[in-house]
Amino acid sequence: MNIEDLKAGNKLFRNTKFKDYKNDFKTLVEKGQTPEILFIGCSDSRVVPDMIISSKPGDMFIIRNVGNFVPPYKDDNDFHGTTAAIEFAISVLNVKHIIICAHSNCGACRSLYQNLEDNNSLVHMKKWLQLGMKAKEEVLKEFDFSTNKERVYTETEKRSVVHQLENLLTFPEVKKRLKENALDVHAWHYKIEDGTIECYNTQTKKFEDLC
Q: Is 148 domain-assigned?
A: yes
The CATH number for 80's domain is 3.40.1050.10
Q: Is 87 domain-assigned?
A: yes
Give the rounded percent of residues in the chain with a pLDDT score beyond 70.
100
Q: Is 123 domain-assigned?
A: yes
Q: CA angle, corner 109, sides to 51 and 150, nearest 5? A: 90
For 90-128, what is each residue's pLDDT tens digit?
Answer: 999 999 999 999 999 999 999 999 988 777 888 999 999
Beta strands in 24-66 (DSSP E): 37-42, 60-65
Which residue numbers belong to the known binding site? 42, 44, 103, 106
Helical (H) or strand (E) element with 70? none
- Per the structure, the complete domain to which residue 78 belongs is given by 13-209
Is the pLDDT score of 60 beyond 70? yes
pLDDT band at 176 (very low <50, low <70, confident <90, very high): very high
Q: Torsions phi, psi of 145, nearest 5?
A: -60, -40
Q: For 182, which DSSP code?
A: -
Is the pLDDT score of 211 beyond 70? no
Which residue numbers belong to the known binding site for Zn(2+)? 42, 44, 103, 106
Q: Is 7 domain-assigned?
A: no
Q: Is 149 domain-assigned?
A: yes
The predicted pLDDT at position 190 comes to 98
How many CB atoms sit inside 10 A of residue 149's CB?
Answer: 13
Q: Structural domain tally of the chain?
A: 1
- What CA–CA distance (Å, rounded) separates 210 from 203? 15
Q: Is 8 domain-assigned?
A: no
Rounded mean pLDDT of 45-71?
A: 97
| 8 Å CB contact between 200 and 163 | no
